[in-house]
Amino acid sequence: MTLTTEEIDRVIEMAWEDRTPFEAITFQFGLKEQEVIELMRREMKPSSFRMWRKRVQGRSTKHSKKRTFDKGRFKCSRQRTITNNSISKR
């Protein structure tokens, strides 16, 4: 599978996000966890890749089956609501 530069950037962004599971990357781009790891290794500096791997290993939120919540999306109680595409603190 060949990804565009924009798609590669988005995969890297999703991989860095704590609450985006590998399953979401698989669903959107068709890349399995091992393929994401290989992409990260290929596209990032070695030190950045090592930092990412250390951060991701053992993180329960990166795998759907290890999450503490089943349905929907996690929302922090301190997170502001967004209404009609404008931030509500205005």
Residue 1, pLDDT > 60, answer yes
Please give the mean pLDDT across all residues of the chain.
Answer: 78
Which residue would you say has higher pLDDT here, 76 or 24?
24
Measured from the Cβ of residue 39, the count of other Cβ atoms closer than 10 Å reads 18
CA 89 to chain centre: 27
Measured from the Cβ of residue 84, the count of other Cβ atoms closer than 10 Å reads 5
Determine, yes or no, domain membership for 76. no
Determine, yes or no, domain membership for 22. yes
- Per the structure, the count of domains in the chain is 1
Determine, yes or no, domain membership for 45. yes
Share of the chain above pLDDT 70, in %: 64
Per the structure, the complete domain to which residue 31 belongs is given by: 5-66
Q: What is the pLDDT of residues 6-43, one digit of tens each?
A: 999 999 999 998 878 888 899 999 999 999 999 999 99
Determine, yes or no, domain membership for 84. no
Determine, yes or no, domain membership for 74. no
Q: In a 10 Å sphere around its CB, with 0-12 CB exposed, 13-18 middle and 19+ buried, how is residue 20 labelled? A: middle
Determine, yes or no, domain membership for 60. yes
3-state helix, strand, coil in the chain (%, to 5): 55, 5, 40
Which residue would you say has higher pLDDT here, 59 or 37?
37
Determine, yes or no, domain membership for 75. no
